[in-house]
C-alpha cells in the first residue's frame, strides 16, 4: 500500500509541523520493523542521487529516498504524466551488489563495479540498474534494502497488520494533523479495500469518538483499529474451548489441537505453545492463553495449511532419477513470448531461484564466432551461450542443492559445438558430470542424493554408456561424429520446411562426450522401448503426443517412465504466446520432466509451484510407489482397485479472508471477492466449487460456506484455492491463490498465504478455512 500523497502548499510553520510529524511516524515504523537507529536505514531515509542506467547512451541522475513508512522508495522522474514515482520494497525480489545484471555488464565499465548495484522486482518489471556516488553509498543502499526485505519477511502477521494499518491511517490523514474526521475515516476504509455507506461510517465514527469532539485522535484511533481488526470467527472458535475462567488452559488448548487440528501432541506441547504465543504476561504466568495469544498461535508458520515437516526435504532422495517428478522449464531464456520476446540470463536465474532443476538451452551459431541462445527463426533477442552457463553456475544451487539438468537443443556447427564444450567444462568445472560415477556398468540412473551439487547435460550423442567401461570410447579419435536425425525428434522450434525431412547432424566429439546419463533419442513406441531403449536414453514428447499416451495408454506410459526419463514440452507451433498445458495428466502417468514456460503466469504454473513447494523446494518429488513399479496395474483413467484407491471425503469450509489487495490502482475500486476450491488429480477426482461473492469488502470478507469433495487417489491430488474479484459483466479478476498437495495439507482451522499471478507471496493477505478428511468405505 503506497503511503505517499501529493500535498497542497504549506506555510513555513505548517512545514515545520509536518516535518516533526514525519520524524515521529518514521520512528514508529522503524520500531515496528525492528530497525530503530540503523545507520543504513537513516542514510536511505535522507536519500541520495543515483545514476540510473538503461543503455550505453541513457544515463540519468535521479534522487532516490526511502519514505517514512520505511517500505516505499520515492524517486525523481521527469515524466510529467507519470501518476506516481514510487515502488514498494515488498515488490523487490532481490538486490544485487556489483555489475551482475546484463544491463550493467553491457553498459558500464569495470571501474564502476564497487559503486554499481541492481534492484530486481518480483513481477516482469524491468530491473533497476544504478550507480552510486561512492562505494560506501552503494553499500548503504544494498545493505539497507536487504535489511528491510529481511525484517519485513520476518514480521508476524500481527506486526504486518499493525504496520500496514498504521501507514494507511497516516495516508488518510490528508491535512496531517494526526486527527481523523469522518471524511478521512471513509478515505481510510477505501484504502484498506472496504466500501461502506455514510450511515455505517457515521455509526463507526460515533462509537470511536468517545471525546465527542468530531475528530478521532490517540486512543480513539486505536479503538478504530481494534474494531476493524476484530475477528468474529476467531471469537466463536476460542469461546468453544476457553473453559478456564473464560480463558484457555493448556488442557483446553490440547483439546482443540487434538479434536480440531488432528495433531498428535501432548499436554507439554500445549504448554509450550502458550509460553511461545501468549502476548499477555499475566495470563502467561498462569499458563493461560487469551484470544490474542490464540490468534497469534493460529498465525505461526507451523499452524498454517502446509505441513511444516514437508517444508524441508522429507522424502527418500536415494532412488534413481526416474523415480522423481522434476521441476522443469521450457524456453528458459525467454522473458515473454517466443516470437519476439526478449531473451535474458534473468530467465535462468528466476527459474533456478524457484527451484527449477531442468532448464533448456536452444543454441545456435553466433555471428561473431560465439554460440548464442535464442528461439530460432524468430525475432527473439540473442544472448551468449557462455553468459548463460555462467548464470546457471552462479544460481543453480541457491534454492536447492540437488542436480540441475541442462537440456541442449543443439543447432550449431562443429566448430561452435567445440566452443560450447569448452565453455561448459571451464565454467562448470568439477561440478559437471563428464563421466559415470561408478567403476561398474550401472543398471539404473543415479539418485538425486548421489548427484548433489552436480550438473547433467542432456542432448544428442553417439556414445553408449557401456562404452565408458570398455576401450571403445578411449580409442575414438574423430573430431566429429554424425547421426541421422529424424524430423521433429527433439526439435522444439516452430515447424519449418527444412525440418520436415531427415538430415545428418554433425556432432563435435568434445560435446558428445559430455552426455552421460541423459542421451536424447527418438521414441519409437513402447514395445521398441522395452527391448531396445537403455535406461540412460531419454525421449522428448510434444504435449499432444504425451497427452494422447496419458489418455489412451496410461499404464504402458507408467511402466515406460519407471526406469527412463521423459521430457514433455509445449507445442511451439500452437503456443507462440508461451502459454502452458496442464501438467497433471502427465504427472499421473509418471512423466518426470514436464517442461513449462516459467515466464508465463497461469493456473498451470500455480499447479507446478504447488507440487514443488513441498520437499524443501528441492525440485524433486518422489513419485508414489505405484508409479515406480514395473508391474503396476495403476491406470489413472480406469481406476481399477489397488493400494492407490483410498476414498476420502474432503470437507472444506471457506470461512474468511484478510487484507486482500486491490486489483485496480484506483482508490475507489473495491473488490467483491469470491473463493473457488479446485481439485486437480486423476479424472475421477477433478472438481471445483465456489462461494458466493461478498460485496465491497477486500479487508475482512466472510463466507462460511461448506463444500465436500470425493477423492479416490488422494496421493495425486492438488487442492487449489483461488480468490477472484467478481464481475457481473466480464470475467472475474484474479486476486490470489494457494495450491497445496492433499498429502501436505494440515486439517482443522488453517490460515493459508496467497500468491499473486506471478507466484510471489502477497504480503499480509490470507485465507482462513476449516478442513476435514474422512475415510469412507
Does any domain span residue 417? yes
| CB hemisphere CA count around 242 (13 angstroms) | 18
Give the active site residue among 163, 310, 330, 423: 330
| Dihedral angle sign, alpha carbons of residues 456, 459, 462, 464 | positive
37: left (phi over 0), alpha (psi -120 to 50) or beta: left
| Dihedral angle sign, alpha carbons of residues 95, 101, 107, 109 | positive
How far apart CA 97 and CA 116 sit, in angstroms, is 7
Q: What number is the average pLDDT over the span 13-17?
A: 61
pLDDT at 81 over 70: no
**Residues 506 and 611 occupy one common structural domain:** yes
Does any domain span residue 523? yes
Asked if 591 and 562 count as a contact pair (C-beta separation under 8 A), the reply is no
Q: Among the three residues 200, 229, 258, which one is the final residue of a domain in this structure?
A: 229
Binding region for substrate: 52-79, 458, 460, 540, 567
- Residue 530's domain is classified under what CATH number? 3.20.20.190
| H helix runs in 217-367, sequence order | 219-229, 232-241, 250-259, 267-277, 281-285, 291-299, 345-353
Q: Which residues contact 642 (CB under 8 A, 6 or more apart)?
A: 626, 633, 634
How far apart CA 236 and CA 746 sit, in angstroms, is 21
Q: What number is the average pLDDT over the span 72-98?
A: 80
Q: What number is the average pLDDT over the span 507-522?
A: 96
Of the chain, the percentage scoring pLDDT greater than 90 comes to 70
pLDDT of residue 482: 63
How far apart CA 409 and CA 358 sit, in angstroms, is 13
Identify the CA nearest to 49 among candidates 121, 125, 140, 160.
140
pLDDT of residue 97: 95
DSSP state for residue 598 in the 8-state scheme: T
Does any domain span residue 310? no
Does any domain span residue 471? no
**Residues 406 and 451 occupy one common structural domain:** yes
Q: What number is the average pLDDT over the span 350-359?
A: 96
**Residues 557 and 663 occupy one common structural domain:** no
pLDDT digits (tens, 9 = 90+) for 381-410: 999 999 999 999 999 999 999 999 999 999
pLDDT of residue 171: 75
Asked if 289 and 274 count as a contact pair (C-beta separation under 8 A), the reply is yes
Task: Enumerate helices (H) and strands (E) in the chain, giving the number of each.
Answer: 23, 31
Q: Among the three residues 303, 331, 351, which one is the final residue of a domain in this structure?
A: 303
pLDDT digits (tens, 9 = 90+) for 180-218: 899 888 888 888 888 877 888 898 999 999 999 999 988
Furthest-apart CA atoms within the chain: distance in Å: 97
Q: What is the arrangement of strands in the sheet containing 718-725, beginning at the earlier edge strand?
A: 687-690, 673-680, 718-725, 733-741, 748-755, 761-775, 648-658, 702-711
Secondary structure element (H or E) that encloses residue 677, with its range: strand 673-680
- Residue 225's domain is classified under what CATH number? 1.10.238.10
- Residue 43's domain is classified under what CATH number? 2.30.29.30
Binding region for Ca(2+): 331, 360, 362, 409, 670, 672, 696, 725-727
Give the active site residue among 375, 423, 559, 770: 375
Cell numbers placing 419? 566452443
Does any domain span residue 638? no
Q: What number is the average pLDDT over the span 359-378?
A: 93
**Residues 400 and 442 occupy one common structural domain:** yes
DSSP state for residue 127 in the 8-state scheme: P
More confident residue, 76 or 636: 636
Q: Which residues contact 288 (CB under 8 A, 6 or more apart)?
A: 244, 245, 247, 248, 249, 274, 278
Q: What is the dihedral of CA 742, 746, 748, 750, to 10 degrees?
A: -100
More confident residue, 11 or 707: 707
Residue length of the chain = 777
DSSP state for residue 247 in the 8-state scheme: B
Asked if 113 and 98 count as a contact pair (C-beta separation under 8 A), the reply is yes
**Residues 609 and 747 occupy one common structural domain:** no
Cell numbers placing 283? 495470563
**Residues 199 and 225 occupy one common structural domain:** yes
DSSP state for residue 503 in the 8-state scheme: E
**Residues 212 and 243 occupy one common structural domain:** no
**Residues 426 and 556 occupy one common structural domain:** yes
| H helix runs in 354-407, sequence order | 385-395
**Residues 337 and 433 occupy one common structural domain:** yes
pLDDT at 108 over 90: yes
pLDDT at 38 over 50: yes
Q: Among the three residues 592, 627, 662, which one is the final residue of a domain in this structure?
A: 627
Does any domain span residue 473? no
Three-state secondary structure of 706-759: EEEEEECCHHHCEEEEEEEECCCCCCCEEEEEEEEEHHHECCEEEEEEEECCCC
Residue 567, domain extent = 321-464+482-489+501-627
pLDDT of residue 494: 42
**Residues 439 and 560 occupy one common structural domain:** yes
To the query of whether residue 683 is one of the catalytic residues in this protein, the response is no
Does any domain span residue 172? no
More confident residue, 393 or 575: 393
pLDDT digits (tens, 9 = 90+) for 484-512: 554 444 455 444 434 444 567 789 999 99
Residue 62 φ/ψ, nearest 5 degrees? -135, 145
Q: What number is the average pLDDT over the span 550-578?
A: 94
pLDDT digits (tens, 9 = 90+) for 637-669: 998 889 999 999 999 999 999 999 998 766 568
How far apart CA 333 and CA 616 sit, in angstroms, is 25
pLDDT of residue 328: 98
pLDDT digits (tens, 9 = 90+) for 404-427: 999 999 999 999 999 999 999 999
| H helix runs in 564-616, sequence order | 584-588, 603-612
**Residues 219 and 341 occupy one common structural domain:** no
pLDDT of residue 5: 38
- 114-128, 327-341, 460-474: least confidently modelled range: 460-474
Look over the chain and give the mean of its residue pLDDT values, rounded to a whole number.
Answer: 90
pLDDT at 78 over 80: no
Does any domain span residue 547? yes
Q: Which residues contact 660 (CB under 8 A, 6 or more apart)?
A: 193, 671, 673, 698, 699, 701, 723, 735, 736, 754, 765
Asked if 477 and 395 count as a contact pair (C-beta separation under 8 A), the reply is no
Name the domain count of the chain. 5
**Residues 220 and 76 occupy one common structural domain:** no
pLDDT tier at 22 (50, 70, 90 boundaries)? confident
- 72-76, 297-301, 325-329, 630-634: least confidently modelled range: 72-76
pLDDT of residue 602: 95
To the query of whether residue 85 is one of the catalytic residues in this protein, the response is no
Q: What is the dihedral of CA 693, 696, 699, 703, to 10 degrees?
A: -30
pLDDT of residue 291: 95
Buried-state track 109-118, b at ≥16 Cβ within 10 A, e below 16: eeebeebbbb
pLDDT of residue 76: 80
pLDDT digits (tens, 9 = 90+) for 523-552: 999 999 999 999 999 999 999 999 999 999
pLDDT of residue 256: 98
Identify the CA nearest to 451 among candidates 261, 317, 552, 353.
317
Binding region: 52-79, 331, 360, 362, 409, 458, 460, 540, 567, 670, 672, 696, 725-727
Of the chain, the percentage scoring pLDDT greater than 70 comes to 92
Other CB atoms within 10 A of residue 533 CB: 21
DSSP state for residue 662 in the 8-state scheme: P
Amino acid at each position: 500500500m503506497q503511503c505517499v500523497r501529493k500535498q497542497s502548499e504549506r506555510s513555513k510553520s505548517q512545514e515545520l509541523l509536518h516535518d516533526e510529524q514525519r520524524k515521529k511516524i518514521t520512528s514508529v515504523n522503524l520500531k515496528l520493523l525492528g530497525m530503530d537507529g540503523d545507520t543504513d536505514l537513516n542514510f536511505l531515509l535522507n536519500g541520495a542521487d543515483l545514476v540510473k542506467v538503461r543503455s550505453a547512451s541513457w544515463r540519468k541522475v535521479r534522487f532516490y529516498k526511502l519514505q517514512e513508512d520505511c517500505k516505499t522508495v520515492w524517486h525523481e522522474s521527469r515524466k510529467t504524466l507519470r501518476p506516481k514515482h514510487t515502488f514498494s520494497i515488498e515488490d523487490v525480489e532481490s538486490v544485487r551488489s556489483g555489475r551482475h545484471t546484463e544491463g550493467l555488464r553491457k553498459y558500464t565499465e569495470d571501474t564502476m563495479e564497487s559503486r554499481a548495484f541492481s534492484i530486481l522486482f518480483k513481477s516482469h518489471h524491468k530491473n533497476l540498474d544504478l550507480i552510486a556516488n561512492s562505494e560506501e553509498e552503494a553499500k548503504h543502499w544494498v545493505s539497507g534494502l536487504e535489511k528491510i526485505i529481511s525484517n519485513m519477511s520476518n514480521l508476524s502477521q500481527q506486526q504486518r497488520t499493525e504496520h500496514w494499518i498504521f501507514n494507511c491511517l497516516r495516508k488518510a490523514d490528508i491535512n496531517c494533523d494526526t486527527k481523523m474526521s469522518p471524511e478521512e475515516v471513509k478515505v481510510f476504509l477505501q484504502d484498506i479495500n472496504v466500501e461502506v455507506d455514510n450511515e455505517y461510517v457515521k455509526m463507526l465514527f460515533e462509537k470511536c469518538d468517545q471525546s465527542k469532539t468530531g475528530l478521532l485522535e490517540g486512543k480513539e484511533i486505536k479503538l478504530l483499529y481494534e474494531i476493524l481488526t476484530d475477528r468474529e470467527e476467531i471469537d466463536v472458535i476460542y469461546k468453544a474451548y476457553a473453559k478456564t475462567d473464560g480463558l484457555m488452559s493448556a488442557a483446553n488448548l490440547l483439546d482443540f489441537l487434538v479434536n480440531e487440528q488432528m495433531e498428535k501432541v501432548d499436554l507439554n506441547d500445549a504448554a509450550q505453545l502458550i509460553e511461545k504465543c501468549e502476548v499477555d504476561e499475566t495470563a502467561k504466568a498462569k499458563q493461560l492463553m487469551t484470544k490474542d495469544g490464540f490468534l497469534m498461535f493460529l498465525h505461526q508458520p507451523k499452524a498454517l495449511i502446509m505441513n511444516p515437516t514437508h517444508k524441508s526435504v522429507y522424502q527418500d532422495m536415494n532412488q534413481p532419477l526416474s523415480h522423481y517428478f522434476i521441476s522443469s522449464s521450457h524456453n528458459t531464456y525467454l522473458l515473454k513470448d517466443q516470437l519476439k520476446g526478449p531473451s535474458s540470463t534473468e530467465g535462468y536465474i528466476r527459474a533456478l531461484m524457484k527451484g527449477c532443476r531442468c532448464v533448456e538451452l536452444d543454441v545456435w551459431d553466433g555471428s561473431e564466432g560465439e554460440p548464442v541462445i535464442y528461439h530460432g527463426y524468430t525475432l527473439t533477442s540473442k544472448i551468449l551461450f557462455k553468459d548463460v552457463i555462467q548464470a546457471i553456475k552462479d544460481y543453480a544451487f541457491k534454492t536447492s542443492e540437488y542436480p540441475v539438468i541442462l537440456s541442449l537443443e543443439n543447432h550449431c556447427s562443429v566448430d561452435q559445438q567445440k566452443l560450447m564444450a569448452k565453455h561448459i567444462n571451464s565454467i562448470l568445472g568439477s561440478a559437471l558430470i563428464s563421466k559415470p560415477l561408478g567403476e561398474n556398468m550401472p543398471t539404473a540412473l543415479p539418485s538425486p542424493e548421489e548427484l548433489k551439487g552436480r550438473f547433467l547435460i542432456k542432448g544428442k550423442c553417439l556414445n553408449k554408456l557401456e562404452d565408458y567401461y570398455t576401450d571403445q570410447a578411449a580409442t575414438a579419435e574423430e573430431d566429429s561424429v554424425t547421426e541421422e536425425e529424424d524430423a521433429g525428434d527433439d526439435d522444439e522450434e516452430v515447424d519449418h520446411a527444412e525440418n520436415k525431412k531427415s538430415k545428418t547432424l554433425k556432432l563435435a566429439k568434445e560435446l558428445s562426450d559430455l552426455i552421460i546419463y541423459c542421451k536424447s533419442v527418438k521414441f519409437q513406441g513402447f514395445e521398441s522401448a522395452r527391448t531396445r531403449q537403455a535406461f540412460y536414453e531419454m525421449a522428448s514428447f510434444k504435449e499432444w503426443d504425451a497427452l494422447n499416451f496419458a489418455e489412451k495408454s496410461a499404464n504402458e506410459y507408467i511402466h515406460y517412465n519407471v526406469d527412463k526419463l521423459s521430457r514433455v514440452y509445449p507445442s511451439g507451433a500452437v503456443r507462440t504466446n508461451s502459454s502452458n498445458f496442464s501438467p497433471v495428466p502427465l504427472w499421473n502417468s509418471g512423466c518426470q520432466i514436464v517442461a513449462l514456460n516459467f515466464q508465463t503466469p497461469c493456473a498451470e504454473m500455480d499447479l507446478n509451484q504447488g507440487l514443488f513447494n513441498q520437499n524443501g523446494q528441492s525440485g524433486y518429488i518422489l513419485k508414489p510407489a505405484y508409479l515406480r513399479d514395473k508391474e503396476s496395474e495403476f491406470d489413472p483413467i480406469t481406476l481399477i482397485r489397488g493400494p492407490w484407491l483410498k476414498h476420502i471425503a474432503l470437507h472444506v469450509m471457506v470461512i474468511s479472508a484478510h487484507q486482500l489487495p486491490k486489483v485496480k490502482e484506483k482508490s475507489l475500486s473495491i473488490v467483491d471477492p469470491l473463493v473457488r476450491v479446485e481439485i486437480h488429480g486423476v479424472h475421477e477426482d477433478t472438481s471445483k466449487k465456489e462461494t458466493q461473492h461478498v460485496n465491497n469488502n477486500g479487508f475482512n470478507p466472510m463466507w462460511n460456506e461448506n463444500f465436500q469433495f470425493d477423492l479416490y487417489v488422494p496421493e495425486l491430488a492438488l487442492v487449489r484455492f483461488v480468490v477472484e474479484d467478481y464481475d457481473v459483466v466480464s470475467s472475474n479478476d484474479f486476486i490470489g491463490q494457494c495450491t497445496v498437495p492433499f498429502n501436505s495439507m494440515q486439517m482443522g482451522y488453517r490460515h493459508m498465504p496467497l500468491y499473486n499471478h506471478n507466484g510471489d507471496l502477497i504480503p499480509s493477505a490470507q485465507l482462513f478455512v476449516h478442513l476435514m478428511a474422512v475415510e469412507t468405505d
